[in-house]
Amino acid sequence: MKMGTRTGLVWHETFMWHQQGKFSGLMPAIYPVQPGHHYETPESKRRIKNLFDASGLTRKLAHIEPRPATDAELQRVHKPDYLAQLARDNELPEASAGFDAPFSRGSFDFARLAAGGAIEAVDQILKGDLDNAYLLARPVGHHAESGIGKGFCLVNNASIAAAHALASGLERVAFVDVDVHHGNGAEEIFWRDPRVLTISVHQDRWFPPDTGDVSAVGEGPGKGFNLNIPLPAGCGFGAYKAVVDEVIVPALEIYRPQMLFVPFGFDAGAQDPLGRMILGSNHFRYIASELRAASQRHCGGKMLVTHEGGYNEATTPFMALAMIEAVSGIDSGVTDPYGAIMDGMPGHEILPHQRAAVDAARANLDGIRAATGA
């Protein structure tokens, strides 16, 4: 580890070798669909790493070498029969893990390596060698549930990492999922678990289309410990700032987690093909810096960011750079060429129907208070 470096980067070349198969957009490329490429390609992710490299940022971060997660580590989160299905189908030229989760031969090996990389990051953070880390891996994870894959995800990297942190002795952790799509995986996995506060801010009824409602608060011993913040399409910084300042940060204040897990997507970015929000890199910077500050207040700085969505190849790298600058406290010296355009877009002021959505989610803070006895 380099002296003074407190932020780690989990990266492995083979993360970019996961392929969905013969697709175009979300559709199998069978007539009348002309073959093209799936929405989730390596390019937007590889360009993040390339920008980190080109700007000199990579060498200022600690490299975390991933290793494959073991069956026991995966089984803390996933059902054995689902893992057996992935292992079996991993030998096929093309297969599916579930709704919108195609993969091809070898993808489960890459998924295992991504999950193991998240676990390695947790170990180094809990040892005190690092404060926080960014897992820049494919396949991504936040839609994967205990017994089925969804939305480009095979195994749930962030949830496997959180389960590892709990198995290592932590008693209370929190998720803040800022991908434009619902963090349904962690919600389902920890639905009845009071040791995990799962928070997700996302576009309402987008993906998965049937989850993410504000009324879903957990059940049994987990009741009160799930906080959904569904937002109408078209939100800008005003709505997101209100969500962070009035809902997410106060929820963390009440719950006082010992470590933060942040499934971070950049698909709430303006011009993303799979989201309908208008954030720019400076807005992601604000979200990341507020989460880092919360991790410093409650968790001794312990935070793991896992890469999730972000599909605009041109803009996503600059958004990820702003995020990692905020999380690491290191200035890359790079100015986002899209930054001024996105900051200047109309629509960043919070509108009345966006305000109503924030207020509805904020009302659930009482449930967290009641459940924690705070």
Question: At a CB cut-off of 8 Å and minimum separation 6, what does 15 contact?
Answer: 45, 110, 113, 114, 136, 137, 138
Per the annotation, the verdict on 202 as an active-site residue is no
CA 234 and chain centroid, separation: 20
If the CB atoms of residues 73 and 267 are measured against Zn ion, the closer one turns out to be: 267
Q: Among 143, 164, 182, 202, which one carries the catalytic annotation?
A: 143
Q: CA-CA distances (angstroms) from residue 103 to 41, 81, 86, 152, 222?
A: 12, 18, 10, 8, 33
x-marked contacts with Zn ion along 280-309 as a string, rule CB under 5 A: -----------------------------x
Should residue 269 be labelled a site residue for Zn ion when binding is judged by CB under 5 A? no
Asked if 181 and 138 touch (Cβ cutoff 8 Å), the reply is no
The region of 34-42, 92-100, 210-218, 259-267 touching Zn ion under the rule CB under 5 A is 259-267
Note whether 345 and 236 are within 8 A (CB). yes
DSSP letter at 245 equals I
Contact partners, residue 59, CB within 8 Å, separation at least 6: none
Which of 179/193 has CB closer to Zn ion?
179
- Residue number, 98 or 309, with CB nearest to Zn ion: 309
Taking the complex as a whole, the smallest distance from the CB of residue 265 to Zn ion amounts, in Å, to 4
Q: Which stretch binds Zn ion (CB under 5 A): 18-26, 71-79, 177-185, 231-239?
A: 177-185
Phi, psi of 296 (to 5 degrees): -75, -35
In this chain, which stretch among 181-189, 198-206, 253-261, 327-335 interacts with Zn ion, using CB under 5 A?
181-189
Region 90-109 residues binding Zn ion, contact defined as CB under 5 A: none
Strands 132-135 and 196-203, by their bridges, are unpaired
CB of 209 to Zn ion, least distance (A): 13
Does 267 contact Zn ion by CB under 5 A? yes
Token code pair at residue 370: 């009641």
Smallest distance from the beta carbon of 329 to Zn ion, in angstroms?
26
Toward Zn ion, which CB reaches closer, 141 or 194?
A: 141
**265 near Zn ion, rule: CB under 5 A:** yes
Between residues 102 and 301, which has the closer beta carbon with respect to Zn ion? 102
- Cα three-residue angle 23-24-25, rounded to 5 degrees: 115
DSSP β-ladder status, 62-64 and 102-104? unpaired
Q: Which residue is nearest to Zn ion (CB)?
A: 309
The H or E element that residue 85 is part of is helix 80-89
**Residues 6 or more apart whose Cβ sits within 8 Å of residue 363:** none
Q: Establish if 181 lies at the interface with Zn ion (CB under 5 A).
A: yes
Residues in 43-62 at the binding interface with Zn ion, rule: CB under 5 A: none
Kindly state whether residue 116 participates in binding Zn ion, applying the rule CB under 5 A.
Answer: no
Which has the closest alpha carbon to 18: 80, 105, 126?
105
Which residue, 224 or 309, has its beta carbon nearer to Zn ion? 309
Number of residues that bind Zn ion (CB under 5 A): 5
Question: Binding to Zn ion by residue 336, rule CB under 5 A?
Answer: no
Q: Are 147 and 78 in contact (CB under 8 A)?
A: yes
> Do 177 and 229 meet the contact criterion of CB atoms below 8 Å apart?
no
Site mask for Zn ion (CB under 5 A), range 218-237, x = bound: --------------------
In the list 179, 187, 193, 325, the residue contacting Zn ion (rule: CB under 5 A) is 179
Closest approach of Cβ 344 to Zn ion, in Å? Answer: 25
CB-nearer residue toward Zn ion: 207 or 225 = 207
- Read off φ and ψ for residue 46, nearest 5 degrees: -65, -35
User: How far apart are the C-alpha atoms of 266 and 184, rounded to whole Å?
Assistant: 17
Q: How far is the CB of 194 from Zn ion (least distance, A)?
A: 27
First to last CA, the chain: 39
Residues belonging to the active site: 143
Q: Which residues bind Zn ion (CB under 5 A)?
A: 179, 181, 265, 267, 309
